Amino acid sequence: MKVSILVPIYGVEKYIEQCAHSLMKQTYDDIEYVFVDDCTPDNSINLLKEVVAQYPHRAHQVRILTHEHNRGIGAVRLTALMAATGQCVMHIDSDDYIDERCVEVLVKHMETTGAMMVDGGYAIDRKGTITGSTPPFKGGKHAYVSHLLCQNVVYNRIWGRLINRQALLENGIFPIEGIDYGDDFVLAPRMVAALTREWVDETLYFYRDDNTTSYTNTLSPKYHRSYLRSCAVVIEHFSTIKEYGAALDQCKLAVLRHARRFNVKWEDVEHFCPQALAPERKVARLIARLLHSPRCPYGLSCFVYRVYRRLFLLSL
């Protein structure tokens, strides 16, 4: 089974060497490496090439694609996916790294179970210190999708997962150019809903949270609008699936809480994600009004929101 590892490159000269070494050292042989240079302004590409040169047996498996101008992580992920030729793909962020057995373990489990997607556990690397491991979600599909739609409950991640590429293409699950903050969220719930999934308990992925230039650490009006666009796509996708109606109301409330928390203009919410302003359930509509009202203190509206979300999660 050929695996395409998809890696975005932008502003990661502090991290790319560790990432690349972990990829080149994989115990699994049949790998295609697709790196996409989004016009990185630093020395990341040269450092990447230096690492690859240390693994001559891997050199023929490496492809470095270059955008003509900076297009953002959504476009990078799309370029990488469409260029991939493997039966399966794995997204690896270039400031992170993986266990040397990562691909081998995930491929073996996919071949054994026949699942379209396989997860492993992940750990946080904070300035070189591993802070603990988070196991994969072990509930059923409905519970997992519902947790994902709630947001900020389980990680909306696409990285570190082995995914059947044809299944993504057949279900129309593509990264979207212009959605750079929320790029994981626009994909993860749809993937989990559409694909059969299995998991292994081993910690295989190491997520670095000290990169201050990453999208998750760069919150500007542009990225808030990107987040709203991602939520609009997800809400539209699940709006016709009745079993997720209650979870979708939670998603809408999460959008409004985000807007209130980060002082996002309500005009932007109305323009980029108007669905969030109209939850279906009465209690959800009441909480939406509290989150929207400048007369209701944010702390109070957030408390009510959290209680409502907690009760929903307990019902799953």
Average pLDDT estimate for 81-87: 97
What are φ and ψ of residue 218, in 5° steps? Answer: -130, 90
217 has pLDDT over 80: no
**Residue spans of alpha helices (H) in the chain:** 16-24, 44-53, 73-83, 102-113, 141-150, 165-170, 188-194, 221-238, 245-261, 266-272, 282-292, 298-315
Q: Are residues 23 and 166 in the same domain?
A: yes
At 146, list the tokens. Answer: 């519902």
Q: Are residues 177 and 229 in the same domain?
A: no
73 has pLDDT over 80: yes
> pLDDT tier at 129 (50, 70, 90 boundaries)?
confident
Please give the single-letter amino acid code of residue 156. N
**The 3-state secondary structure of 6-69, one letter per residue:** EEEECCCCCCHHHHHHHHHCCCCCCEEEEEEECCCCCCHHHHHHHHHHCCCCCHHHEEEEECCC
219-249 confidence digits (pLDDT tens): 788 999 999 999 999 999 999 999 999 999 9
Say which CATH number the domain at 118 has: 3.90.550.10
> pLDDT tier at 262 (50, 70, 90 boundaries)?
very high
Average pLDDT estimate for 275-289: 96
Q: Are residues 62 and 139 in the same domain?
A: yes
241-259 confidence digits (pLDDT tens): 999 999 999 999 999 999 9
Q: Are residues 155 and 228 in the same domain?
A: no
How high is the pLDDT of residue 276?
96
Q: Are residues 179 and 237 in the same domain?
A: no
Q: What SS3 state is found at 178?
A: coil
How high is the pLDDT of residue 212?
53
Q: Are residues 60 and 208 in the same domain?
A: yes
pTM (two decimals): 0.93
> pLDDT tier at 156 (50, 70, 90 boundaries)?
confident
Q: Are residues 69 and 113 in the same domain?
A: yes
Q: Which domain holds residue 255?
A: 221-315
Q: Are residues 148 and 23 in the same domain?
A: yes
How high is the pLDDT of residue 22?
98
How high is the pLDDT of residue 213?
55
How high is the pLDDT of residue 251?
98
How high is the pLDDT of residue 209?
83
Average pLDDT estimate for 199-209: 94
Q: Are residues 117 and 228 in the same domain?
A: no
User: Among 303, 259, 258, 311, which Cα is nearest to 281's?
Assistant: 311
211 has pLDDT over 80: no
How far is 114 from 162, CA to CA, in rounded Å?
12
How far is 95 from 140, CA to CA, in rounded Å?
31
Q: Are residues 272 and 148 in the same domain?
A: no
Question: Over the chain, what is the mean pLDDT?
Answer: 95
Q: Show which of 216, 234, 265 is a domain's final residue.
A: 216
Q: Show which of 155, 183, 216 is a domain's final residue.
A: 216
